[in-house]
Structure 1
Amino acid sequence: MSDCCSHPGVGKRPEELSKPSYETYNPSEVRLYGRPASREEIFKITDEQIREKITLSLNNPATNEDEIRGLVKVVKEVAIGIIDNDVLSGIFRQQIVLAIFDDELKFRQLPVSVNIPSKTFDRDGGRYIKSIGVIYGYAYEGHCYKLPKPQIMYLPEEPREIVGGDCGCDCGYVPELGYAVWQIDKLERVIALDVRSDDVKTLVLDENMPGSRSPMAYAQTMALAPQRHRD
């Protein structure tokens, strides 16, 4: 049976992705297969609505259209904290912000600081983290592997279109089922999120019962480590 039938659908076929690069051989390349995050503009309010509000608020109604367009751009940049390609304290203060809306429709956020090169920017001056994906498997040194559990990852490369042979797949993953591929060197830093949803008994009580915890947990290792007497 073909490997192309062994993976479930994860979404719509990704659009407008670039082709993967196979011109050079990189012995340390890892190809990640998964569902890329959709790319949507953060602003649900339109430019026309912002322009209308600015026009009504200006004391000088003679402001020309070019100036209004410039003001619209400034409003959007200030809102998300971008001034001269720098990141300020706007909506996003970190690479990752966990957020919910509470019962009073107030925005509760938990910024998460991550250990990535230069904290925010890569060596070329752009953002280091460029995409998000749910990763289901990977290929390394000519072999394909499946992850035991899908992982959400923040990645330093953009997703690329999967190019396969006659069946249209690569490692059994096909673009028609919503998959894309990331080509990343094994030494690049990524961020992996372990997201689980269950009741407190399962995630806290049962998880920490004797025999369930990892023997490599830091606290357990430290507790079992022999003490060294100091002179």
Structure 2
Amino acid sequence: MSNCSSNPGVGREPEGLSKPIYDTYNPSEVRLYGRPATREEIFKITDEQIRQRIETSLRETSLKEDDLRTLVRIVKEAALGTIDNDVLAGIFRQQIVLAIFDDELKFNQLPVSVNIPSKNFEKGGERYIKSIGVIYGYAYEGQCYKLPKPQIMYLPDEPREILGGDCGCDCGYVPELGYAVWQIDKLERVIALDVRSDDVKTLVLDENMPGSRSPMAYAQVMALAPQRHRD
């Protein structure tokens, strides 16, 4: 009988992943199983489409073809931050940015600084955080475990391809369901996000009140400190 456990599908099968590392034994390695974030380019349009849009905007000018190509290159470099490391470090810093667009299409962002080493990224070094994944389970010291709930994590390594064994899976996770694996030492630093969505009563009031109590008792239960005696 197969020892594979049943896991939900989490997306299309990941493509272009590296093979797992098997050449060395690391007794403190943790294998994280989950769905890797999709990797997409910032620019969805081609250079020719960008050139046409710029050309339309500058219709009243007398720019030459070579000038338009140069302008397209400058716009892309400025947006992507590939001019030099100083610009790149200023645009893509080692942080998390939570963002939404409002009804007026204004960009609302909340940068979250993280206490994560960057390995001298500002000086042309290597970035520490390299991928994002929704982690569903993990393996440690030859045993497989499931998380109580999926966890979004920023991770210091790239996801790798899952290779099936005798039962065609690895801890019950198969690439056909969209899973990948991260091989990370247990002392490496990661960032875990706790994302929940519900009404305010559930996430704020009920979450912080022990037991089921009457709403009239809420103020008494949530008192943080005794009142000071006034003179």
TM-score w.r.t. length of structure 1: 0.80
Q: Distance in 2 between matches of 1:85 and 1:139?
A: 38
Aligned to 1:161: 161
1:39-50 equivalences under 5 Å are: 39-50=39-50
Q: Alpha carbon RMSD of aligned pairs, Å? A: 2.8
Name the CA distance, whole Å, in 2 between partners of 1:13 and 1:53. 35
Structure 2 vs 1, CA of residues 45 and 138 (structure 1 numbering), >3 Å: closer, same or farther? same
Q: Which amino acid aligns with 2:74?
A: V
Secondary structure class of the residue paired with 2:66: coil
| Residue among 57, 61, 64 paired with 2:64 | 61
Q: What does residue 9 of structure 2 align with?
A: 9
Cα distance in 2 between the residues matched to 1:72 and 1:146 = 49
Unmatched runs of 5 consecutive residues or more in structure 2: 213-224, 226-231
- Deviation, 1:62, is 4.7
> Structure 2 vs 1, CA of residues 24 and 89 (structure 1 numbering), >3 Å: closer, same or farther?
closer
* Structure 2 CA distance for partners of 1:136 and 1:202, relative to 1, 3 Å: same
Q: Does 1:192 align with 2:195?
A: no
In the alignment, the residues of structure 2 paired with residue 120 and residue 71 of structure 1 have an alpha-carbon distance, to the nearest angstrom, of 31
Distance 1:18 1:115 in 2: 28
Conserved 8 A contact 1:122-1:128: no
Aligned to 1:38: 38
**Contact kept? 1:131, 1:155, Cα under 8 Å:** yes
Tell me if 1:127 matches 2:127.
Answer: yes
- Would you say the 8 A contact 1:137–1:147 is kept in 2? yes
Contact 1:159 1:181 in 2 (8 A): yes
| Conservation of the 8 A alpha-carbon contact between 2:94 and 2:116 | no
DSSP-derived class of the 2:15 partner: coil
Q: Shift of residue 10 of structure 1?
A: 0.9
Separation in 1, partners of 2:32, 2:196:
21
Tell me by how many angstroms 1:114 deviates: 0.7
Letter in 2 for 1:63: D
Distance 1:169 1:123, change over 3 A: farther
Contact 1:95 1:120 in 2 (8 A): no
> How far does residue 42 in structure 1 lie from its aligned partner after superposition?
1.5
Q: How many equivalent pairs are there?
A: 211
Q: CA deviation at 1:177?
A: 0.8
Q: Are the equivalent residues in 1 in contact too, given 2:133–2:153 (CA < 8 A)? A: yes
Percentage of pairs with the same residue = 80
Q: TM-score, normalised by structure 2?
A: 0.80
Structural mapping, 1:82-231, within 5 Å: 82-86=82-86, 87-90=88-91, 92-118=92-118, 121=121, 125-210=125-210
**Contact kept? 1:94, 1:112, Cα under 8 Å:** no
Distance in 2 (CA, whole Å) between partners of 1:25 and 1:19 is 16
Counterpart residue type for residue 2 of structure 1: S
Match of 1:23 in 2: 23
User: In structure 1, what is the Cα distance between the partners aligned to 2:122 and 2:180?
Assistant: 23
Structure 1 stretch 50-59 or stretch 32-41: which is displaced more? 50-59
- Measure the CA separation in 2 of the matches of 1:185 and 1:113: 23
Q: Distance in 2 between matches of 1:109 and 1:124?
A: 26
Cα-to-partner distance string for 1:100-143 (whole Å, 9 max, x where unaligned): 11011111111111110038739981221111100001111111
Structure 2 counterpart SS, 1:4 = coil
Native 8 Å contact 1:35 1:134 kept in 2: yes
Residues 1:179 and 1:61: Cα distance change in structure 2 (over 3 Å):
same
- For the pair shown, which has the larger CA radius of gyration, 1 or 2? 2
How far the C-alpha of 1:53 sits from its partner, in A, is 3.8
